[in-house]
């Protein structure tokens, strides 16, 4: 294996170094004897499954947790952080997936929050503030951003870049980026990366955590792999293959992803389990029609902003529809009533696990039972034995890793939270499941588990509507793909035409592509070419730093 632990590093060479760090939470050993060195001018990936200890290590490096054992060095000098403030003073800045800035203030104010230039009278020097902000944005190739607009009015990706530039302005020597791209589109990711590269050129060092291995290979120089709270490998990024990295993370060799076999019996003749007719709702759902047969996996493909999430939310009744009908197993669903949809046998795993899914303070048990408590009660009292059986069965089936059904769901890792939510829906024995990006932000192991559950459900005859931001996953899982653009179904791709190339062409709205796709028999072009989607960050594409 290409990954070897490298010993005998000198603390002097590293801008931030951890030696022999252990961290226990009660009887749980979150980290055991972890050593980690970050050199100036490098982007260092921390890889590992959820629960491997990445978050804990980051929290120790940024002063949120004190290590139970071990030493920390900043530029060769041993340090003790007694809080995040200490780490910040030492030049360690953290950027999270969510932006911790003030949405109702301008970009410029946010850039200099807490260190605004002052006038003689001690008031904020507005002119200098905006001038400095302008310079700073220009310097990082983000001159297209208007420093005067409220931060909250900008797309999340831009907000994140503002946060990054803010950290750079504060002369951070070490930047910790924890899943910074989970909400960004492709163009935004590119701009973000160019800002990161610029920072690194200027001598900063970056610790980078992402579930997207592509990004690690694209951006990072070195990688340290954690598993079960231990360092299991460290390597230059150029010296390992993707497969080796995944194997190291999982601690065993994985089989290559295999495409879901076609359903044995032809489902063509079966009555549709779900049928959506001329559904309208909001600006992003326009005249959507499609059907899902039992045992079939239908992908809703579309870029961010294509209306894919809005479409499924309208089908399920989370958002109100403005026309059209949804039928499930012959029954017409009342619009705007998720409870009615659930009752009819529809399930909906929302995209945003934290906002729309998990009840963090409740136990794993109660989270799982949320949809089905009513069916499992007598005189309003939950039947404990029956409930317990369902919960333990589902926790087993989905291999939910928790200390038990009593653990609070908020304490679980992202992948396990997702499994709990999936369990919540499986408990209801749905006929059709709508899964909105079910593997988003979860680690490779949990991802594979979720994917195989989906395949299993389809094999058992459930109809599945699936959204994924990973084309590869979509292709492997689905029998048929509907491509959405601006809230409309523009193309349906099935059979042998269902491949990466065709979907990308359809997604991008490439006229040539659409033409070539429609030449194949299996594809039904639904609509004429629509106006291309407007990119949020169009002006940024060709910024000066873009290589």
Partner 1 sequence: MMSRRVAGDGLVTGPPSASGPASGGVVTGADKDMSTELSGTPGPQKPTSTGAAKGNWRTGPWTDLLREYGVYIFLVGLVVYDVVATQGFTSVAAFRSLAVEAAPLVLVAAGQALAIGTRGIDLSVGSNMALSSAVLPLLFGFSVSQSTEQRSAALAIAGALAVTTAAGLLSGAVIAFLDVQPLIVTLGMQLALRGLAESLTSGNQIMMNDGTLQRLATGRVLGVPNMAIVALLAAAICGVVLRYTTFGRRVISIGGNPRASYISGVPVRSSLLVVYALSGLLAGVAGLLSSAYLGASDPGDIGQLYELLAIAAVVLGGTPLSGGRVTMLGTVAGALVLQLLSNTFVSHNLQPTTATMVEAVIIVAAVYFQKRRGN
Q: Which of residues 67-106 bind partner 1 (CB under 8 A)?
A: 80-84, 96-98, 100
The answer to whether 217 and 246 are in contact (CB under 8 A) is no
* Choice between 81 and 112, CB closer to partner 1: 81
Q: Does 359 bind partner 1 (CB under 8 A)?
A: yes
Q: Which is nearer to partner 1, 91 or 147 (CB)?
A: 91
Q: Which is nearer to partner 1, 130 or 208 (CB)?
A: 208
Distance CA 116, CA 443 (A): 40
Residues 223/44, Cβ–Cβ less than 8 Å: yes
Give whichever of 138 and 228 is closer to partner 1, judged by the CB atom: 228
CB 39, min distance to partner 1, A: 23
Nearest to 373 by CA among 356, 394, 393, 387: 387
> Which of 21, 174, 358, 466 lies at the binding interface for partner 1 (CB under 8 A)?
358
- Out of 129, 303, 466, 484, the only residue in the binding site for partner 1 (CB under 8 A) is 303
Q: Is 119 in the site for partner 1 (CB under 8 A)?
A: no
Give dist(CA 430, CA 432) in Å, integer.
5
Give the range of 58-66, 164-172, 485-493, 515-523 binding partner 1 by CB under 8 A.
58-66
Closest distance to partner 1 from the beta carbon of 294 (Å): 16
Nearer to partner 1, 131 or 408 (CB): 408
Residues near 33 by Cβ (< 8 Å), separated by ≥ 6?
20, 21, 22, 70, 230
- Minimum CB distance to partner 1, residue 192 (Å): 12
Closest CA to 473 of 481, 461, 483: 481
Query: Among 6, 116, 125, 228, which residue interacts with partner 1 (rule: CB under 8 A)?
Result: 228
Q: What are phi and psi of 8, to 5 degrees?
A: 70, 30
Among 87, 99, 95, smallest CA distance to 209 is for 95
Number of H helices, E strands in the chain: 18, 23
Binders in 394-423 for partner 1, by CB under 8 A: 396-399, 401-403, 408, 410-414, 417
Q: How far is the CB of 370 from partner 1 (least distance, A)?
A: 4
| Distance in angstroms (rounded) separating the CA atoms of residues 465 and 348 | 9
Query: Which residue from 2, 271, 339, 521 is in contact with partner 1, where contact means CB under 8 A?
Result: 339
Q: What is the DSSP string of 2-49?
A: --B------GGG-SEEEEEEEEEETTEEEEEEEEEEE-TT-EEEEE--
Does residue 316 touch partner 1 according to CB under 8 A? yes
Task: For partner 1, give the closer residue by CB, 52 or 206.
Answer: 52
Does 386 bind partner 1 (CB under 8 A)? Our answer is no
Is 355 an interacting residue with respect to partner 1 (CB under 8 A)?
Answer: yes
Site for partner 1 in 458-487 (CB under 8 A): 459, 469-473, 476
Candidate list 113, 386, 448, 522; residue touching partner 1; CB under 8 A: 448
Stretch that binds partner 1, among 199-207, 363-371, 524-532, 535-543 (CB under 8 A): 363-371
Phi and psi dihedrals of 45, rounded to 5?
A: -85, 140
Half-sphere exposure of 271 (CA within 13 A, CB side): 6
Sign of CA dihedral 259, 260, 263, 268: negative
Closest CB 494 distance from partner 1, rounded Å: 18
Residue 19: C-alpha distances to residues 220, 263, 482, 535 (Å): 22, 53, 51, 45
Collapse the DSSP code of 452 into the 3-class scheme (helix H, G, I; strand E, B; otherwise coil) and give the result: helix
Report yes or no: 200 and 41 within 8 Å, Cβ to Cβ: yes
Instruction: Say how many residues touch partner 1, by CB under 8 A.
Output: 126
User: Which residue number, 133 or 445, has a Cβ lying nearer to partner 1?
Assistant: 445
Q: Kindly state whether residue 490 participates in binding partner 1, applying the rule CB under 8 A.
A: no
Per DSSP, what are the bridge partners of residue 323?
A: 280
Confirm or reject binding of residue 209 to partner 1 (CB under 8 A): yes
Query: For residue 271, what is the DSSP state?
Result: P
Nearer to partner 1, 373 or 522 (CB): 373
Is 186 a binder of partner 1 (CB under 8 A)? Answer: yes
Q: Shortest gap between Cβ of 490 and partner 1 (angstroms)?
A: 15
Q: Enumerate residues 506-545 that contact partner 1 by CB under 8 A.
A: 507-508
Closest distance of CB 10 from partner 1, Å: 25
Among 113, 169, 318, 386, binds partner 1 (CB under 8 A): 318
**Cβ contacts of residue 22 below 8 Å, gap of 6+?**
29, 31, 32, 33, 34, 67, 68, 69, 70
Class of residue 40 by CB neighbours under 10 A (exposed 0-12, middle 13-18, buried 19+): middle
Give the nearest distance from C-beta 467 to partner 1 in angstroms. 11
Q: For partner 1, which is the closer residue by CB, 212 or 221?
A: 212
Minimum CB separation of residue 84 from partner 1 in Å reads 6
User: CA–CA separation, 152 vs 161, rounded Å?
Assistant: 13
Q: Which parts of 242-301 interact with partner 1 (CB under 8 A)?
A: 242-243, 246, 250-252, 254-258, 260-261, 301
Question: What six digits make up the tokens of 272?
Answer: 């549709």
Which of 7, 27, 385, 542 forms a contact with partner 1 (CB under 8 A)?
27
Interface with partner 1 by CB under 8 A: which range of 14-22, 285-293, 348-356, 524-532?
A: 348-356
Measured at the alpha carbon of residue 211, what is the angle toward residues 210 and 216, in degrees to the nearest 5? Answer: 55
């Amino acid at each position: 294996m290409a990954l070897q632990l490298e010993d005998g590093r000198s603390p002097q060479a590293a801008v931030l170094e951890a030696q022999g760090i252990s961290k226990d939470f009660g009887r749980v050993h979150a980290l055991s004897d972890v050593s980690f060195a970050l050199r100036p001018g490098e982007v260092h990936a921390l890889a590992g499954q959820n629960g491997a200890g990445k978050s804990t290590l980051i929290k120790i490096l940024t002063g949120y947790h004190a290590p139970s054992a071990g030493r920390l060095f900043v530029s060769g000098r041993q340090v003790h952080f007694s809080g995040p403030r200490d780490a910040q003073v030492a030049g360690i800045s953290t950027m999270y997936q969510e932006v911790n800035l003030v949405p109702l203030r301008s970009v410029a104010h946010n850039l200099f929050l807490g260190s605004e230039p002052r006038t003689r009278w001690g008031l904020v020097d507005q002119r200098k503030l905006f001038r400095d902000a302008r310079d700073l944005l220009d310097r990082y190739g983000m001159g297209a951003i208007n420093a005067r607009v409220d931060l909250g009015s900008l797309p999340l990706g831009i907000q994140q870049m503002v946060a990054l530039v803010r950290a750079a302005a504060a002369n951070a020597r070490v930047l910790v980026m924890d899943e910074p791209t989970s909400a960004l589109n492709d163009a935004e990711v590119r701009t973000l990366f160019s800002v990161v590269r610029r920072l690194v050129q200027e001598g900063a060092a970056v610790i980078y955590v992402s579930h997207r291995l592509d990004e690690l290979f694209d951006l990072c120089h070195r990688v340290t792999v954690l598993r079960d709270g231990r360092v299991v490998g460290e390597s230059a990024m150029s010296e390992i293959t993707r497969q080796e990295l995944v194997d190291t993370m999982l601690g065993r060799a994985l089989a290559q992803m295999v495409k879901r076999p076609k359903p044995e019996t032809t489902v063509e003749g079966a009555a549709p389990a779900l049928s959506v007719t001329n559904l309208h709702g909001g600006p992003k759902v326009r005249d959507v029609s499609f059907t899902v047969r039992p045992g079939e996996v239908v992908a809703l493909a579309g870029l961010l902003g294509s209306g894919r999430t809005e479409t499924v939310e309208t089908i399920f009744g989370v958002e109100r529809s403005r026309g059209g009908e949804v039928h499930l197993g012959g029954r017409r669903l009342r619009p705007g009533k998720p409870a009615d949809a659930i009752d009819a046998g529809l399930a909906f795993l929302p995209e945003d696990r934290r906002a729309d899914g998990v009840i963090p303070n409740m136990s794993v048990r109660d989270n799982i039972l949320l949809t089905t408590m009513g069916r499992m009660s007598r005189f309003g009292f939950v039947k404990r034995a029956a409930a317990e059986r369902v919960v333990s069965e589902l926790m087993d089936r989905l291999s939910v890793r928790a200390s038990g059904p009593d653990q609070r769901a908020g304490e679980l890792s992202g992948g396990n939270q997702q499994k709990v939510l999936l369990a919540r829906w499986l408990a209801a024995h749905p006929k059709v499941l709508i899964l909105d990006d079910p593997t988003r932000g979860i680690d490779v192991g949990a991802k594979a588990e979720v994917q195989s559950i989906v395949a299993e459900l389809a094999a058992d005859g459930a109809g599945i509507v699936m959204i994924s931001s990973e084309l590869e996953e979509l292709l492997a899982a689905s029998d048929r793909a509907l491509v959405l653009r601006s809230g409309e179904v523009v193309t349906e791709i099935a059979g042998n035409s269902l491949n990466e190339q065709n979907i990308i062409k359809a997604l991008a709205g490439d006229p040539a592509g659409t033409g070539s796709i429609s030449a194949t028999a299996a594809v039904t072009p639904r609509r004429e070419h629509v106006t291309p989607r407007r990119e949020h960050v169009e002006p940024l594409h060709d910024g000066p730093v873009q290589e």
